[in-house]
Structure 1
Amino acid sequence: MSFYNDILSSAGELANARAAKVITVRADQHTALDLHSFWTLFNAAWDFVVQSESVSRKHSCKTFHQARLSQSAKLVEDEQWNPVEVPPAIQHLVNLLVDASFHDPPEFKLSALSDPTSPLPPPSPLLPNSPALQVNGAPIQPSSPVPSPLMPPNTPKHLQADSKRRGSHTPGKHLKIEERNFFAVSATLEVLALLSDYMRVIVNLPSLVTDTMSRIIELLKAFNSRTCQVVLGAGAMRSAGLKNITAKHLALASQSLSIMISLVPYVRETFRRHLSQKQAVMLVEFDKLKRDYQEHQNEIHAKLIAIMGDRLSAHIRTLQAVRWDIAKQGGGVNDYMELLVKETVTLHKVLSRYLSLSIVEYVMTQVFAAINHRLSEEYAGIDLPSQESKERLLADAKFLHEKLSALKNVRAPTAMLTIVVQEKRIEHKSPPPAPALNAAPAPHSRFSTIFSRTETLKVPPTTTPAPTFSPSVNSEKALPVLSPSPDPSSISPTPPVFSDGTPTPPVNGHTSEGETAVSLPLNDAVVADGLVEEPQQMDDADESLAVPVKEEAQSGSRAASPLLPSPSEDPQPQQTGDMHLGP
């Protein structure tokens, strides 16, 4: 393609030279022409010049643009992303870019380059291997401490005088744009020098304004995309040999984007002054370009937040491995909290050094919110076995809040973690009860359970008067005392009666309809289902005592006493349910 372009350029130059000779030879004849003939000759010659210029213009603009596009890409790929001092010449160029939005600076006009009093340094050359990228024959490496190629060691006296007159005779740490300071890297400063070359074109060649505008937008878009590839895409680890991409690299990339975002409105206004009303609609491309830069910058800030998110995840894994039932040797907060606070403070220090206060506050606020949210979830799931473990966790939360609240230019985080820990309950894990086989029953435990059972049955107090026994009735029927092992057949199914024939009430209790009568033991004997057994010595093998209780009652009849069998029932003891009572 370049071969055909060279042929076209050579043919245009040859045609212009031959046409000029023909017109020069016929100069005397042309002066004798009438008005109509001269008008025809002039229009033909002018059309030829315009068409030749159009062909040459496209070729020249393309060559001019491609050379600077290649330079820009190479500079960004080789950038080490370290801050450099801003040479006075670069600062002066930036001031001229700002001034061009109001008027055409005399320093941008080509006639000013031949003026020995002009403060403008020579324009950047077209080829990548031009002397503009070399100092004393040695190529310049990005972010190197050597002076800028636009201000070499043998700077002319008139440039030094201009720098002194502007009060910037020494390199500065910041690039100033309308009282705003920015940190800059070498690649960004070089691209600004290339940008000034495009501004010279529109000042000196008004017919190339539209072509130059599309080229300058393409240059700035390429710088934006290439910066994204080498920083967010970690391309600098391959192209520039970086070991990793740090928060410092991200912060400096954000500063480079901020420089371009600040200059785009001035460049847009410069083109607006040189465009017609109909052509002014093309300026919307600059607005789109600025939004692209801002979106890229937001992605960088989100990456800074994500870096701390990854570190927080690593510290949470360490938190999950903490033994809260074992005190930390040496005391103090736990290791995960010390490292988390240290890294958060380091991030704040780096951002505060290179970024504006508004961006620092935004990023750190998001980091604080992420820390509180993630740690509160983890703290809620921790089981604290003792008050000492709760104090340790509370010390971690207070340490975090104290250190982060001390950071400057950032709103202090909330005390949410401290509140979460203070509201946590201590999980007392009591040992499981010992099996009943291993526990020796207390003496007379059988009698204690029977006495306690009587209280649960809620038997109302009796008001029945004590009966008077007739001399003719055997008193043993009222209070029968059976042998330790009676024969069930020997027990009379008929309940004892008084002398007048009325049934005797149950001993030590009473029955009513719907209620269960429970008799207390007599003469230290255990009574159950009408059987009286002599107390026996308890051994360790006894685990529980089953006491059968019958609670059924026929409607309209008295409930039978559990001490004596009912006449209609089997004299054998019946068990309708067992209550197992432990020793």
Structure 2
Amino acid sequence: MAHGVCASWWRGRSPCVARRRRSGLPPPTVVMELRPPGKARADVLRENTEAVFAACDAAHGRWAKLLGVRAGLHPRLRLEEFLIIYSITEEFIAATEKIGGRLGYNIRGILQQQSKQFVDYQHNVRMTKIKAVLDQETWVAVDVPEEFQAIVLSLSSTYSSVNGMEMPSTDDNSKFSDHQPTSQELTYSAENNADNGKVTSGTGENQVESTSQSANNVAGNLKSTLQTIVHGGVGYHMVNCGLILLKMLSEYVDISKCLPSLSLEVVQRVVEILKLFNTRTCQLVLGAGAMQVSGLKSITSKHLALASQIISFIHSLIPDIRRVLFLKIPEARKQLLMSELDRVAQDYKIHRDEIHSKLVQIMRERLLANLRKLPQIVEGWNAPQDNDVQPSQFAKAVTKEVTYLHRILSQTLLEVEVQTIFRQVVQIFHSHITEAFTKLEVSTPQAKDRLCRDVQHILACIRKLPADNFSSETIPNYGLLDEFLAENFGTKVGE
């Protein structure tokens, strides 16, 4: 809209104005064209908005370039250090998106890429480290610093509370206390022949390390330690590599919690490291690879029992790890990952059962080795000058070896596992010894007396072994050897 403005200041300043005054005409009217106020404000706002957009884009570009320059450094940082950069970048992106109104797709992509590189690098470092630790493992029991028990409690829903973690009382650990190992153990070597299970005197690798040395191996000089690590009310004896794996698993959980967008990748990495640990442990202990890489002279029953404990502990921990890691996993992806973890858990269970079968096999091989010497021993029974009233060397050797195995395993394995193993051992003793005694040619009264004493001595030992079918109405570990004694000598043991 045009507005007329009287330009009185023109008067006297222009010849034209003077002439108009002399002629009696009115002064000239000056007309000024002005833009509407609303349109002017819109133009200013548009220009300001474009300037803000340009500033945000420039800031994104500069920040992205800074991240790119440090791309090789960020994956090597500790989680706490990487989270500082990650959080600052997220805050910067959120602030600039709010101010500028445009999404920072480029810088978000760079941040996500570097986060994946961080997870990959940290995983590769841990895979390399756990393999090196396993190759150096001597499979000696170590005490457990309390920080590792705290890790277990943080993963387990059993001990979690609203106000934080609750440590179990020390009384909970007393029933899982360790015992000093025996000086002799059953061993086997890589060849798996009949003499692989020979009894050998205990060496340095069979002794339990002191508390201070154990703590140095896994967590420095910590004052408070436990003899077992408790999970689900069960105490497990640990070795160095088991504690290190537990620490690594807790670090994977921390990464998943701090970087929820990468929870899927973290679960896949956890599956990989669990598979590596299980496979390599099997190669080193069951496959006797530790004799080459760790310098062990033999793989003893104590080594097998400790390996079984570690495998059993990780197997029991997998459900808790899965529960924590799956909190941020999309429902559509959970089923596939759950099946992968279930397969890993099944592999651990199979591995544990194979270790127990190996322990039974060791005892069977030792029994067969002693049975091969039996005919030579029996030849002396028929001599008229044989007046020995003690059990034969065969009976003493067999009972001594099975007693050692029972003592070693009862110090380390769970009671139900010891029962399962010795149920098979007792069956092997009954069948093999009865078959061998039946084939013996015993002709003299003193030889028959010697045979009767041997059977009674062996049965007395068998009665003391774990029996999972024992009741007040039955004889523990009753079997074929009892029937042989009753049929041939008319007597019984253990009534």
| Mapping for residues 126-525 of structure 1, pairs under 5 Å | 145-148=213-216, 151-153=219-221, 170-281=224-335, 282-321=337-376, 322-323=378-379, 324-326=381-383, 328=386, 330-407=388-465, 411=470, 412-424=476-488
Query: Out of 103, 117, 126, which is 1:59 matched to?
Result: 117
Is the contact between residue 305 and residue 367 of structure 1 (CA under 8 Å) also seen in structure 2? yes
Deviates more, 1:385-394 or 1:143-152: 143-152
Q: 1:148, CA displacement in angstroms?
A: 4.3
Is the contact between residue 116 and residue 262 of structure 2 (CA under 8 Å) also seen in structure 1? no
Q: Structure 1 235/353 Cα, relative in aligned 2: closer, same or farther at 3 Å?
A: same
Cα deviation digits, residues 283-321 of structure 1 (max 9, x gap): 221111111000000000000000001101111111122
SS where residue 313 of structure 1 aligns? helix
Q: Structure 1 10/379 Cα, relative in aligned 2: closer, same or farther at 3 Å?
A: farther
Greater relative contact order (Cα < 8 A, sep 6+): 2
Q: Structure 1 330/15 Cα, relative in aligned 2: closer, same or farther at 3 Å?
A: closer
Q: 1:401, CA displacement in angstroms?
A: 0.7
Q: Structure 1 76/100 Cα, relative in aligned 2: closer, same or farther at 3 Å?
A: farther
TM-score normalised according to structure 2 size: 0.65
Q: 1:384, CA displacement in angstroms?
A: 2.1
| Mapping for residues 530-545 of structure 1, pairs under 5 Å | none
Is the contact between residue 142 and residue 214 of structure 2 (CA under 8 Å) also seen in structure 1? no
Distance 2:246 2:420 in 1: 29
The amino acid that maps onto 2:462 is L
Distance 1:172 1:337 in 2: 40
SS where residue 382 of structure 2 aligns? coil
Q: 1:151, CA displacement in angstroms?
A: 4.7
The amino acid that maps onto 2:220 is P
Q: 1:278, CA displacement in angstroms?
A: 0.9
Larger gyration radius, structure 1 or structure 2: 1
The amino acid that maps onto 2:357 is A
Q: 1:386, CA displacement in angstroms?
A: 2.7
The amino acid that maps onto 1:362 is T
SS where residue 113 of structure 2 aligns? helix
Q: Structure 1 394/106 Cα, relative in aligned 2: closer, same or farther at 3 Å?
A: closer
Is the contact between residue 137 and residue 294 of structure 2 (CA under 8 Å) also seen in structure 1? yes
Structure 1: gaps (5+ residues): 1-8, 32-37, 108-141, 156-168, 426-583
Q: Structure 1 104/187 Cα, relative in aligned 2: closer, same or farther at 3 Å?
A: farther
Would you say how many aligned residue pairs link Structure 1 and Structure 2?
A: 352
Cα deviation digits, residues 323-367 of structure 1 (max 9, x gap): 142264533111111100000111111111100111001101100
Distance 1:376 1:416 in 2: 6
1:572 matched residue in structure 2: none
Distance 2:148 2:219 in 1: 8
Q: Structure 1 221/387 Cα, relative in aligned 2: closer, same or farther at 3 Å?
A: same
Q: Structure 1 92/148 Cα, relative in aligned 2: closer, same or farther at 3 Å?
A: farther
Is the contact between residue 87 and residue 172 of structure 1 (CA under 8 Å) also seen in structure 2? yes
Distance 2:391 2:277 in 1: 47
Q: 1:424, CA displacement in angstroms?
A: 4.8
- Structure 1 segments of 4+ aligned residues over 4 angstroms from their partners: 9-12, 99-107, 148-151, 408-411
Structure 2: gaps (5+ residues): 1-63, 72-84, 166-207, 471-475, 490-495
Q: 1:383, CA displacement in angstroms?
A: 2.1
Q: Structure 1 277/377 Cα, relative in aligned 2: closer, same or farther at 3 Å?
A: same
The amino acid that maps onto 1:331 is V
SS where residue 91 of structure 1 aligns? helix
Cα deviation digits, residues 393-427 of structure 1 (max 9, x gap): 121111111122123566532252243255359xx
